[in-house]
């Protein structure tokens, strides 16, 4: 009888442990959520792919689908309450709030601002001061690349008129640099420079984050969702943070999982995309992944005002919250 009781107790403890690891059960009927990604399917979204594939979102009662359409304006949809979440670059948050959209960043996924200026080594561009008199290509005069470029000039005291900025009309920076159409270009440090190096070119890189502390990419929601559906916010973030945790701990597993969601991760392109993921991991790591630095929000706002994209700073501390990640990450880190 004692042996049977021990087996019963052991089984209950094992079941309890599994339930704790999975988190509290989600609603009986899954909540469908369409998530605007702001970019094409890419290995840089590995934490989300891992969280879906391992059932973390399903365990939270969320049926997640990815929206890669460039026509989808995630900031507007979340601000209007038509969607609960979107992935955005940090500078979009104060810009949207200045337009009356009550958006809030609930997790700063990229701890470092991922924008860089890159050039062929023969151009001799190794520091911001080397940009004087040079032509720099941007995918457009908007978004993270534009803000990062302007912030670099501002932080290093380079007058804008001393650098010729060119609108490339799209994401063609790699070709523009390779073919010599521009002296340098602006893009993501974990993407375009790596592509040029894989093509056999010697490339120099100026990391904007070394000169300006700006807010990187993160997860956006709105004030109403935080107020009326805090449990949905917790469930969504808990699933994401579990996927991020697993990706940081086992990037090879995450890369294999991503192959189901992203074309071109196998074959001759596999080594290049593996480099992209490795470079991206460095942008995510933090003592508390997802936590925002208030100083970065303040500096980014000053830059946006300086370059004329914001008239006044506004209440920048209402644009983000660390409450959810600070509550959830210790639990996720311990396997709950």
Q: What is the rounded CA–CA span in Å between residue 194 and residue 174?
A: 10
pTM to 2 decimals?
Answer: 0.87
Per-residue pLDDT tens, the chain, 336 aa: give them: 434 333 333 343 343 334 444 455 556 689 999 999 988 999 999 999 999 999 999 999 999 999 998 767 999 999 999 999 999 999 999 999 999 999 999 999 999 999 999 999 999 999 999 999 999 999 999 889 999 999 999 999 999 999 999 999 988 999 999 999 999 999 999 999 999 999 999 999 999 999 998 999 999 999 999 999 999 999 999 999 999 999 999 999 999 999 999 998 988 889 999 999 999 999 999 999 999 999 999 999 998 998 888 998 888 999 999 999 999 999 999 987
DSSP per-residue letters across 23-71 = -S---SS-EEEEEE-SSSS-GGGHHHHHHHHTTHHHHTTEEEEEE--TT
Q: What is the rounded CA–CA span in Å between residue 94 and residue 311?
A: 11
């Amino acid at each position: 009888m004692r042996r049977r009781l021990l087996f019963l107790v052991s089984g209950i403890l094992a079941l309890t442990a599994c339930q704790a690891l999975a988190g509290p059960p989600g609603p009986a009927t899954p909540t469908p959520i369409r998530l605007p990604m702001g970019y094409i399917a890419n290995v840089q979204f590995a934490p989300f792919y891992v969280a879906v594939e391992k059932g973390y979102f399903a365990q939270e009662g969320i049926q997640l689908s990815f929206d890669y359409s460039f026509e989808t304006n995630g900031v507007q949809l979340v601000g209007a309450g038509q969607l609960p979440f979107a992935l955005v670059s940090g500078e979009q948050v104060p810009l949207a709030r200045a337009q009356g959209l009550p958006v809030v960043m609930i997790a700063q996924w990229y701890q470092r601002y991922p924008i860089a200026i890159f050039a062929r080594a023969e151009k001799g561009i190794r520091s911001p001061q080397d940009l004087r008199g040079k032509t720099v290509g941007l995918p457009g005069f908007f978004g993270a690349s534009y803000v990062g470029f302007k912030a670099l000039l501002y932080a290093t005291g380079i007058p804008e008129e001393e650098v010729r900025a060119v609108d490339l009309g799209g994401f063609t920076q790699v070709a523009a640099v390779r073919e010599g159409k521009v002296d340098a270009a602006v893009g993501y440090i974990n993407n375009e420079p790596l592509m040029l190096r894989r093509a056999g070119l010697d490339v120099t890189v100026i990391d904007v984050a070394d000169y300006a502390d700006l807010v990187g990419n993160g997860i956006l929601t709105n004030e109403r969702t935080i107020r009326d559906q805090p449990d949905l916010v917790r469930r969504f973030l808990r699933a994401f943070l579990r996927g991020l945790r697993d990706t940081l701990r086992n990037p090879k597993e995450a890369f294999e999982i991503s192959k189901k969601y992203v074309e071109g991760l196998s074959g001759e392109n596999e080594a290049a995309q593996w480099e992209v993921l490795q470079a991206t991991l460095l942008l995510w790591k933090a003592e508390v992944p997802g936590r925002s630095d208030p100083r970065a929000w303040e500096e980014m706002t000053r830059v946006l005002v300086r370059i004329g994209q914001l008239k006044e700073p506004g209440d920048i501390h209402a644009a983000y919250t660390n409450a959810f990640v600070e509550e959830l990450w210790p639990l996720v880190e311990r396997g709950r």
